[in-house]
Amino acid sequence: MMQPWITQLTPLSYLARSAEVFPAKPALVHGTESLTYAELREAVEVRARALRALGVEAGDRVAYMMPNLPETLMSMYAVPLIDAVLVPVNTRLAPAEVRYIADHSGAKVLVIDSQYWPAVTAVAAELSTVETIVLIDDEQYAERPAPRANPAGTRVLTRAEFLAGAAGDASPVEWSVDDENRTLSINYTSGTTGKPKGVMYTHRGAYLNALSEIVHSGFDTDSRYLWTLPMFHCNGWCTGWALVASGGTQYCLREVRGPEIWRLIDTVGITHLNGAPTVVSTILDATESHELAAAVTITTAGAPPSPTILTRMGAMGFSVVHVYGLTENYGPYTVNQYQDAWAELDQQTRAGLQARQGVGMIVAERARVVAPAVPGEELVDVPADAATMGEVVMRGNNVMKGYYADPAATEAAFAGGWFHSGDLGVMHPDGYIELRDRAKDVVVSGGENISTIEVEQAIAGFPGVTDVAVVGVPDDTWGERPKAFIVLAEGSAATAEEVREFLRERLAGYKNPRDVEFVPVLPKTSTGKIQKYALREREWGGHTRRVKG
């Protein structure tokens, strides 16, 4: 039993503390709007009372479908402040997907940015639990929303009407919780292989993962963080809580655009940002890009960054923190912990070491790479030989509570007492893991396993390549073979044969893609992950793929 003088862990305490310690310090900036820490706390309390006025009670779910705006960050505090559960919704979802998440989570209130009004009105009549829709109009957004309507009798409120509800509530709000294992938020997976699953985060897990972010990304009171990572994605990797805890300043950015990112880097002195490698490429490839006058730390994840990208970032002056994780891990779980001895290595060798996924973060347990599980038996680690592939498994404080309303999926995910990531990798002798592929993405050609990540990283080194994806395609002789989809920089006139010739000295013959297709863009999720399933579906029409996936 926990002693009464031991308090429960919650990220709410971070804002309560910073509002007292840094009351006049800028906490949040969006265009011409700026809030101090004292003002942010007050704004959060107003929204918490407004939600309570709508009938939201402890345990109720409140869904937010918002871009990276102040209202979105406030939701990370306001909803759990009344013991309710936050449900962040991917802003790029189709109407049917929005409906599924709202219904599956049982959301009582749905708060949306006016930009996404059409996606909600299309299914509003079918929402089974939503009683109120709050329509947020971003006054700094150039496009204006469509005229407000009342779909199927659902109550629709403007932001002003919503906030007015707080006026009659003088009751206090408590910046603490009575159970740190209470569900704080439900974050839905992408659902690329089935219905999205609701990943439950706890107050304890979010509190600890935010601490990890502070340590590994190096946040402090001088940090000026730019929101290039969607806040809806794993609650922004818990970064919104981390920056508040460290007393830094957060800059909201509705859309990821290279020119605006560089303007803010140059004018306000951005020190940190997060994003997938595709976001990094957007920054590096912008016409405004230039060598930095002061270091900017980019924490990147979502796909293994190629050594080529890492080398470019280092040359421009960016400091790279490479992390790895899943929605089920609050975002980051491992970090490529930099070793001082690497500074003595040549740039290419050092970049190769930094491309690995690394070791468990400071609040995480050591990640394992295990052989295929045998039901009823202990998980067995593969040799740490940098060659034997196995599945990456994790457990600890920054692993989800479970899947909401899905005990069967939860049980399957934790077979053997560890969370099974579905990612395949190797363990290096120094204890660093390196991803080789998703289990469903491995190309099995003539009995040989081909890592698409290995092939992609080799192709990324070809001059002019800005993006690449490799998938398995049908082959009458070998079952399947790798095919490369490549995006070239503007003005590049590279040919498929030139790419293959480049790879002959870098890959075994059976790994070298016979098929190379140049495309203008690759299909991606809102967080920058390449949707390989979309490429596979196009290639496998009329064929049966006989490998996992």
Same domain for 345 and 267:
yes
Round to whole Å and give the CA distance between 485 and 468: 6
Same domain for 166 and 82:
yes
The predicted pLDDT at position 2 comes to 67
Round to whole Å and give the CA distance between 209 and 293: 31
Nearest to 85 by CA among 114, 57, 50, 59: 59
- Quick one: 218 exposed, middle or buried, by C-beta within 10 A (0-12, 13-18, 19+)? middle
The predicted pLDDT at position 66 comes to 96
| Helix 70-81 × helix 37-53 angle, to 10° | 60
Render 62-99 in DSSP notation, one character per residue.
Answer: EEEE--SSHHHHHHHHHHHHTT-EEEE--TT--HHHHH
pLDDT in tens, 58-115: 999 999 999 999 999 999 999 999 999 999 998 888 888 899 999 999 999 999 999 9
For residue 546, the SS3 value is coil
Residue type for position 142: A
Nearest to 410 by CA among 200, 182, 187, 101: 200
DSSP state of 50: H
Render 343-398 in DSSP notation, one character per residue.
Answer: GGS-HHHHHHHHTS-BEE-TTBPPPEEEPPP-TTS---BPPSSS---EEEEE-BTT
Residue 415 covered by a domain: yes
Same domain for 529 and 455:
yes
Residue 146 covered by a domain: yes
User: Is residue 92 within 8 Å of 145, Cβ to Cβ?
Assistant: no
Strand 155-158 to strand 107-113: parallel, antiparallel, or no bridges (unpaired)?
A: unpaired
User: Is residue 502 within 8 Å of 468, Cβ to Cβ?
Assistant: no
- pTM of the predicted model as reported, rounded to 2 decimal places: 0.86
User: Partners of 177 in the beta sheet?
Assistant: none
| 154: phi then psi, degrees, rounded to nearest 5 | -65, 135
Q: Under 8 Å CB-to-CB from 195, ≥6 apart: which residues?
A: 100, 104
Same domain for 329 and 478:
no
Same domain for 418 and 288:
yes
Same domain for 517 and 406:
no
- Give the domain-ending residue among 438, 471, 489: 438
- Assigned token pair, 266: 């140059």
Same domain for 366 and 383:
yes
Long-range contacts of 286-291 (CB under 8 A, 24+ apart): 286/258, 286/259, 286/261, 286/262, 287/258, 287/259, 288/258, 288/259, 288/262, 288/263, 289/258, 289/262, 289/316, 290/262, 290/316, 291/316, 291/317
Cα 163 versus chain centre, distance = 30
Q: Under 8 Å CB-to-CB from 247, ≥6 apart: which residues?
A: 18, 21, 22, 25, 37, 220, 221
- Assigned token pair, 313: 């970032």
- Give the domain-ending residue among 402, 422, 438: 438
Q: List the CATH number of the domain containing 526.
A: 3.30.300.30
**DSSP H or E segment with residue 36:** strand 33-36
CA diameter of the chain: 74
Same domain for 180 and 82:
yes
The predicted pLDDT at position 65 comes to 97
The predicted pLDDT at position 446 comes to 66
Residue 276 covered by a domain: yes
- Percent helix, strand and coil across the chain, each to the nearest 5: 35, 25, 45
Q: List the CATH number of the domain containing 194.
A: 3.40.50.12780
Residue 42 covered by a domain: yes
Round to whole Å and give the CA distance between 113 and 506: 48
Residue 211 covered by a domain: no
Same domain for 48 and 196:
yes
Cα 458 versus chain centre, distance = 25
DSSP state of 113: E
For residue 407, the SS3 value is helix
- Assigned token pair, 44: 């959060």
Same domain for 305 and 334:
yes
Sheet holding 465-475, edge to edge: 465-475, 479-488, 515-518
Residue at token pair 């790798």: 482
Q: Find the DSSP H helices in 440-531.
A: 452-460, 496-504
Residue 113 covered by a domain: yes
Render 218-279 in DSSP notation, one character per residue.
Answer: T--TT-EEE--S-TTTHHHHTHHHHHHHHT-EEE--SS--HHHHHHHHHHH---EEEE-HHH
Render 410-434 in DSSP notation, one character per residue.
Answer: HHHHTGGGSEEEEEEEEE-TTS-EE
Full residue range of the structural domain in which residue 278 is found: 256-438
397-414: buried (b, 16+ CB within 10 Å) or exposed (e) per residue?
bbbbbbbbeeeebbeebb
Same domain for 424 and 466:
no
The predicted pLDDT at position 169 comes to 87
Residue 209 covered by a domain: no
The predicted pLDDT at position 549 comes to 38
Q: Give the number of domains in the chain.
A: 3
Residue 331 covered by a domain: yes
The predicted pLDDT at position 547 comes to 46
Cα 284 versus chain centre, distance = 20
For residue 214, the SS3 value is helix
Across the chain, which has 549 residues, the per-10-residue mean pLDDT values are 86 98 98 97 98 97 97 98 97 87 97 90 90 87 62 84 92 94 94 77 98 97 97 96 98 94 97 88 90 95 75 89 94 96 91 92 96 90 95 96 97 95 94 88 78 88 93 86 94 94 87 94 80 88 57
Same domain for 450 and 385:
no
- Assigned token pair, 361: 């973060």
Round to whole Å and give the CA distance between 252 and 226: 6
- Give the domain-ending residue among 389, 423, 438: 438
Round to whole Å and give the CA distance between 514 and 481: 8
The predicted pLDDT at position 143 comes to 66
